Amino acid sequence: MERIDAKALAARIKADAARQAEELRRQGVVPKLSVILVGEDPASEVYVRGKQRDCAECGIESELLRLPADTSEAALLAEIARRNADSGVHGILVQLPLPPQIDEQRVIEAISPEKDVDGFTPINVGRMLIGEDCFLPCTPAGCIELLRASGTPIAGKRAVVLGRSNIVGKPMALLLLRENATVTVCHSKTENLAKIASEADILVAAIGRDRFVGAGMVKDGATVIDVGINRGPDGKLHGDVDEAALATKAGWITPVPGGVGLMTRAMLMVNTIKAAQKGR
Ligand code: NDP
């Protein structure tokens, strides 16, 4: 299988975001993303640092609010309300996961839909469902861009999504449907998953299981989008797909690391610019 060059694609998308940020600045608008991090989850720290670096590269101002792990839900909601009301803040992102005393869904719903650059609020999810203009969730939106960049036809094709989370699997299925694919969603209760997966022209793996998808689950010539990020027993990062096992097949695949993750970050920049353009 040939690798889709996510690095080059993400760089192109970020360069375009930077050009748009410059244009906004010329008009007197400084695009700004506010990130809230509660606690000290090491993976979240890495993600947040990455987002700040991306903002700096794209000419987007970024603010990081660090709150202690024992922060109350009310205190977090108050911080969100402050940023909702601040016209200088265009995008608000609360890094997930949150500590157990905080209701994640309530927090997401507190973010103004106009500043919801993650695309997680019910308003944006609903708008996506009915095909209205909205902030698309970054990971699935990035996967669609990867499919386009590889020249993979989507309309009329059989797409199988492994995983049905609110942030990846479900929106991924919706976006593929919007692109006119025939979509099947598999999850932990699915029977004959391997057979269903092996019939896919487009296979998106988002289950969080180290190298779960082997050669027998992939059709020759398929495009495989590997969303998973798993720490393997070797201490290294691996996807949900066993890329090495697919080496002799025809088709396209995204590497892990250096695949979907880069696109998720790039699409956040796209959404932040869009929020600034709307909020100007
Ligand atoms: P969740 O844990 O929220 O969801 C996992 C989904 O996979 C569930 O729907 C679950 O089914 C399904 N599943 C789990 N095990 C199996 C199995 N053995 N067979 C079939 N289905 C299974 O994960 P996320 O969607 O948040 O993330 C998925 C992966 O993607 C993770 O590795 C995560 O780290 C990664 N990720 C990567 C991003 C990136 O930018 N590259 C961004 C976000 C996530 P059920 O609903 O029945 O429980």
pLDDT band at 172 (very low <50, low <70, confident <90, very high): very high
pLDDT band at 279 (very low <50, low <70, confident <90, very high): confident
Average pLDDT on 188-192 reads 98
Active site residue 51: yes
Active site residue 16: no
Q: Would you say 236 and 244 are in contact if contact means Cβ atoms under 8 Å apart? A: no
Average pLDDT over the chain reads 97
User: pLDDT above 90 covers what percent of the chain?
Assistant: 99
Average pLDDT on 33-38 reads 98
Residue ranges covered by each domain of the chain = 28-112, 138-261
Asked if residue 94 has its Cβ within 6 Å of ligand 1, the reply is no
Question: CA nearest 130: which of 170, 173, 178?
Answer: 178
The position carrying tokens 């296979």 is 203
Residue 280: predicted pLDDT: 66
The amino acid at residue 91 is G
Can you read off the two tokens belonging to residue 46?
Answer: 């890495």
Average pLDDT on 100-105 reads 98
* Per-residue pLDDT reduced to its tens digit, 146-155: 999 999 999 9
Residue 6: predicted pLDDT: 98
Q: Which residues of 25-35 are buried (b: 16+ CB within 10 A; e: fewer)?
A: eeeebebbbbb
pTM of this structure: 0.97
CATH superfamily for domain 138-261: NAD(P)-binding Rossmann-like Domain (3.40.50.720)
Active site residue 118: yes
Asked if residue 34 has its Cβ within 6 Å of ligand 1, the reply is no
Judge: domain 28-112, CATH 3.40.50.10860: yes
Same fold, 28-112 and 138-261: yes
What span, in angstroms and rounded, lies between the C-alpha atoms of 112 and 162?
A: 30
Average pLDDT on 163-176 reads 98
* Residue of 14, 20, 32, 51 with catalytic role: 51
